[in-house]
Amino acid sequence: MNFDIKKIVRPNIEILKAYSSAKDEYTGEANVLLDANENSLGSPLTKWYNRYPDPYQKKVKEKLAFIKQIKAEQIFLGNGSDECIDILFRTFCEPGKDNIIICPPTYPMYEVGANINSIEIKSAPLLPNFQLNVAHIEQLVNEQTKIIWICSPNNPTGNSLDRIDIETILNHFNGLVVVDEAYINFSKQKSFAQSLIDYPNLVVLQTLSKAWGLAGLRLGMCFASDAIVKYMNKVKAPYNISMVTQELALTALEEVGQVNDMIAHLVDMRIALAAVIETMPFVEKVYPSDTNFILVKIPKATELYRYLLTQGIVVRDRSSLENCSDSLRITIGTEQENTALVDAMAKWIEFTFAND
């Protein structure tokens, strides 16, 4: 590998002069703030929300740096991981010129983001065992390939991708390799966040939406080299993370023990739900999962999906995706929700296949 960040970043971003607020121009605490045209009399909510938030979320990053055991300078925070994905496209991919590689079935926002930014998409479908087809990926790479997107544990299949395969790509590709670890907390696999020092082209995505239970807060995390983060900071909106989100995130990050307890409980329920569904008649397969969901293969899956909707139960029909025919993705719910799901599935199976 001969990775050079200056050959990857878009030329206009390299020379871009980012928006600068007064907060970028002084250090320490100021008592009289007359720079940002804020309402100096306060707000209907609280005295402090009349002020703009820290544009670089320093306190949140310091706390995350301690938890993740990386440098705060290696952290970029987005309004959900989707903002991180979009900014990676806008920072490193030239519209109408560059291309990216995805490995379907995978998280659809990589494709959506590429289409929004007019980036060519090359596809290297996962193998039948839902592992990377490294040879195919290598065949697709050319001089205009800027990013390879890898989701591990993968959505919607639930499995972790082979670490050696990912390292092989990191070692042989001169562009960015983005490893999306949205579900890493539910897995026994080691995060790639601790490998940033070994791979200058590595970008790791994580989120507070899944294991931390903060989907409504919208806080995504991007871990990368200082240089990559600096470029992303040039492109982001000046105040992309609200003060409320930063305050609540700091409070939540104090509760690591509670989160670990929730993760353990969800994993136990995942194992139990998978075991029950596997014994149901006509269920062909429940795929192994390192996430908080399971992928279930069953004949007439789309019909089952529609029936569950009539019972007020919403799952995801993934039957149209590559290698996922007749498959439903089912999130692990509460014990009561899981029981309701199983009961509804059992009734549908009995009625649908009664004469088969």
Q: Taking residues 30-36, report their average pLDDT.
A: 85
On the question of pLDDT at 22 being above 80, the answer is: no
The reported pLDDT for the residue numbered 356 is 61
Q: With 90 as the cut, is the pLDDT of residue 351 above it? A: yes
Q: How confident is the model at residue 23 (pLDDT cuts 50, 70, 90)?
A: confident
- In which domain, by residue range, is 323 found? 257-352
| Total domains present in the chain | 2
21 and 37 inside one domain: yes
- The pLDDT value recorded for residue 355 is 65
Contact partners, residue 23, CB within 8 Å, separation at least 6: 52, 54, 55
pLDDT over 80 at 347, yes or no = yes
Closest CA to 188 of 275, 290, 286: 290
Residues 57 and 190 in one domain: yes
* Helix H or strand E segment including 222: strand 220-223
Give 3-state DSSP helix, strand, coil % of the chain, rounded to 5: 40, 15, 45
Q: Are residue 261 and residue 250 in the same domain, yes or no?
A: no
- Asked if residue 330 has pLDDT above 70, the reply is yes
pTM: 0.95
213 and 234: one domain?
Answer: yes
- Are both 240 and 132 inside the same structural domain? yes
| Alpha carbon distances (Å) from 115 to 112, 151, 263, 284, 320 | 5, 18, 35, 35, 19
For 194-209, write each residue's pLDDT tens digit.
Answer: 999 999 999 999 999 9
Q: Do residues 85 and 205 both lie within one domain? A: yes
Q: What is the 3-state secondary structure (H, E, C) of 228-256?
A: HHHHHHHHCCCCCCCHHHHHHHHHHCCCH
Residues 25 and 167 in one domain: yes
> Where would I find the H helices in 69-176?
81-92, 109-116, 134-140, 163-172
Output the pLDDT for position 215: 97
pLDDT above 80 (res 241): yes
Q: Are residues 162 and 306 in the same domain?
A: no
Please write the tens of the pLDDT for every residue from 310-319: 999 999 999 9
Q: Let me know whether 193 and 265 are in one domain.
A: no
CATH of the domain at 306: 3.90.1150.10
Same domain, 240 and 286: no
Phi, psi dihedral angles at 343 (to 5 degrees): -60, -45
What pLDDT score was predicted for residue 30?
80
Any residues with CB less than 8 A from the CB of 260 and at least 6 apart, and which?
none
Residues 136-191 have pLDDT tens digits of 999 999 999 999 999 999 999 999 999 999 999 999 999 999 999 999 999 999 99
Confidence of residue 31 (pLDDT cuts 50, 70, 90): confident
Task: Over range 343-356, report the average pLDDT.
Answer: 90
Do 168 and 281 sit in the same domain of this protein? no
